[in-house]
A = this chain, B = another copy of it.
C-alpha cells in the first residue's frame, strides 16, 4: 500500500466523498480520513475549497483537489501505475463513461432527490415516474458499456461504476421512503445484479453505509417530511 501524504476531508454519509474513497481503495492508497461534522464546516475545509466550501477535498502533498469526479480523475492519473485503471483505456469509452457520469449527477440524481422533497402525492408520483424512466436509460447504458462483463467498466469497477454505485445506499433509503422499488429483477435485471456485485467489491464493502444508519441520518436531514 502506498504511504504518500494523502488526506481526505469528508463524511461517511456523503455520496460524493464515497467516490473519492472507492477510488483511493481501488488504487490501494492509504489516507487520513478527516471527518466533517454535519451542520458545520472545518477551517481546513473552508481553506481548502474556498470557492464551493464543500466536501470532498483530497489533499495530496498539501495541495487540495475538489469536486468528486475531478478527484476520481486525479487519483487515476496521479497514481496511474498503482492498481487498475479507473477510466476506460480507449478515448471513446472514456467519453461514454464521462457522458453517463454527468447524466447521473445532472439529471438522474436530481429526480431521485426530488422524491424526498416532493410536496404532496401528485408531485411525488411524477418524481417517481421520472426516476423510473431515467433508470431505464441507465439499465440500457449498463448493457451497452459492460458488453456482458460484470461492471460498466468491464471486468473491474471503473469511473462510471463509482459515479452510480456511490448512490446505492441513498437510493435504497429513497426506495424505503417512497415505498417503491426502482432496482427490480423485472425492470432493471442487469442493474440489480451489478448493484450486488458493486456492494460486495472489496473496495466498496467496508465503506458502504448501513441502510438503517443512513435512513436515520436522512430523517435528520429532511425533518419537514416527518410532519
B78 touches A99 (CB 8 A): no
Q: Size band of the A side of the interface?
A: 20 to 34
Q: Quick one: which of A76-103 are within 8 Å of B by CB?
A: 77-78, 91-92, 94-95, 98-99, 102-103
**CB contact under 8 A between A65 and B137, given known A70-B102, A102-B70, A103-B51:** no
Q: Which chain B residues lie closer than 8 Å to A74 at the CB level?
A: 91-92, 94-95
> In the complex, which of the residues B65, B67, B91, B102 contacts A92, with contact meaning CB atoms closer than 8 Å?
B65
B92 touches A78 (CB 8 A): yes
B65 touches A77 (CB 8 A): no
With the chains together, A163 CA to B91 CA distance in Å? 20
Closest to A134 in B: B51
Q: Which chain B residues lie closer than 8 Å to A94 at the CB level?
A: 73-74, 77
A70 touches B95 (CB 8 A): yes
Q: Which chain B residues lie closer than 8 Å to A78 at the CB level?
A: 91-92
A55 at the interface (CB under 8 A from B): no
A66 at the interface (CB under 8 A from B): yes
A213 at the interface (CB under 8 A from B): no
Q: Which chain B residues lie closer than 8 Å to A103 at the CB level?
A: 51
A47 at the interface (CB under 8 A from B): no
Given contacts A51-B99, A70-B98, 7 further A-B contacts (CB under 8 A): A51-B137, A65-B92, A65-B99, A67-B99, A73-B94, A73-B98, A78-B91
